[in-house]
Amino acid sequence: MPRNAKLDRDLIWAQMRQSLLRGPTSAAVLARTSRISQSSVSRVIAERGELVRIGRRRNARYALRRHAVDVTQPLPIYAIGEDGTARQLALLHLIYPQACYFEALDTDVPAAVFGDLPYFLHDLRPSGFLGRLVPEQHPELRLPPDVRHWSAEQTLGYLSKYGWDVPGNIIVGDGALTLYNRRSPATHAVELGKRRRRYPTFADDVLGATPPGSSAGGEQPKFLVTLLPERTAALVKFSPVTDNVVGRRYADLLVAEHVAHETLRHAGHAAARSEVLEAGGRLFLEVLRFDRTAHGGRRGLLSLEALDAEFVGKGTTWSEIARALWEQGHLDEGALYEIEWREQFGRWIGNTDMHPGNLSLFTERLRPVGLAPVYDMVPMHYVPRQGNVLTQPLSFTRPLPPLVEAWLDAGRVALEFWNALARHPRGSDVFRSVARENAVAVAKTLESATR
């Protein structure tokens, strides 16, 4: 190429690059802003490996690739099936100004440009008690110690290397897929008969690994286990040592969560399967993971929080977000009613922590297909505050007319919950008394509401 022609081409590219830094652009717009022909634009595009084509033929747009430390691009996105096999869904590209292009390879999954991480990767970000351990577990990544401050690039860097056991069925990157295929290291593999001996050690280990001050208030300490011989995946929450009033109250709340699971399933509502164990002066709540199947299989999962962030943007109550999703066609009427019902049940039992991350939906090819079982359904009204524990019964308010049917039906199940909790042998005398008083309060409210 003659020297002058190369200089001209470099000048044209500099002009085009200024447009591309603002976001994806068509060849026609690039030609107009650079004051050259579309054929000249096409020649420059063909020479530049840092461009990403979005779409095909006449509707194609072009984006400038955004490079990031520790992120190899494009990043393959895989979905793990219920049989444990991996299927590649897409390639993920970082593009300017601060976006991601999801290049779909599966015809049933739509391609799209997202302003940040795609919403279906939102729940893969490290978070909560276990997520806050990640920076110390992987110091070689040199990531900020507070995972809440991680950028999309930093999150992808972590996920593509170590994110093989995250919620749901999505795996980002070949490095994480390799770890999944090895199933190694196994997460706290333990035989059923040895749980009482080993769980206290696991609890001490995870507490010892927690950076001082890193856990936000109200987060429940927990660890992950693989139960042998069936290799069943479970999450285990645990109380402080129960030799004081605060530790005992946290243990009571774990018992209450288990009773909620049992009561809901008995009433015909899907809820997580759990078991309560006592060992080493603590109480443990073992919850089977419903996003995992036998022999390494997985199920897709999306939180209401992720769906809200992408399609609604309310950040309010479960029922308000669900109604907006239903109006847009993302939920059917049955799912909408069940979400409203769950919210009313939570209010009857004093669950003051029903944020959108505490309700999830199963997905297939990234689309919601039904509600996941109930989890984290706890009477958080009674969580210790500054060393004090509440014992007063709850009071109840009749909701707006559209929710009254769900409220009344959920109230009848909540009455069963409080009565079952009042009888549970693992509950303290104090909390069983609280449960009895709440059963009376629920019964009186229902009687008054149905006169």
SS3 call for 274: strand
- Under the banding of pLDDT at 50, 70 and 90, the label for residue 38 is confident
Q: Which of 71, 12, 69, 21 is nearest to 45 (CA)?
A: 12
Strand-pairing partners, residue 370, are 362
pLDDT, tens only, 222-270: 999 999 998 899 999 999 999 999 999 999 999 999 999 999 999 999 9
Global confidence as pTM = 0.91
- Under the banding of pLDDT at 50, 70 and 90, the label for residue 14 is confident
Instruction: Check pLDDT > 70 for residue 2.
Output: no
pLDDT of residue 217: 33
Instruction: Check pLDDT > 60 for residue 379.
Output: yes
- Under the banding of pLDDT at 50, 70 and 90, the label for residue 46 is confident
DSSP annotation of 311: I
Active-site entry in 243, 353, 376, 409: 353
Mean pLDDT of the 320-348 span: 97
pLDDT of residue 186: 62
Strand order in the sheet with 61-64: 25-26, 61-64, 51-54
In the numeric block, the tokens 């709850």 are attached to: 394
Q: Which of 408, 339, 410, 392 is nearest to 370 (CA)?
A: 339
* Phi-psi region at 193: left, alpha or beta (left = phi > 0; alpha = psi -120 to 50): alpha
pLDDT of residue 34: 80
Instruction: Check pLDDT > 70 for residue 216.
Output: no
- Angle (deg, nearest 10), helices 245-266 and 404-423: 120
Domains and CATH numbers, the chain: 3-64 (1.10.10.10), 75-182 (no CATH), 186-383 (3.30.200.120)
User: Which whole-number Å values give the CA distances from 359 to 321, 370, 412, in the listed order?
Assistant: 11, 12, 22
Mean pLDDT of the 426-443 span: 98
Mean of per-residue pLDDT scores for the chain: 91
User: Which whole-number Å values give the CA distances from 413 to 60, 398, 401, in the listed order?
Assistant: 55, 16, 20
CB burial of residue 102 (10 Å; 0-12, 13-18, 19+): buried
pLDDT of residue 215: 33
Residue with the bigger pLDDT between 88 and 4: it is 88
108 is catalytic: no
Mean pLDDT of the 393-400 span: 96
Instruction: Check pLDDT > 90 for residue 6.
Output: no
CB burial of residue 64 (10 Å; 0-12, 13-18, 19+): buried
Structure tokens at 22: 């603002």
- Which residue spans within 152-271 are E strands per DSSP? 170-172, 189-191, 222-228, 232-238
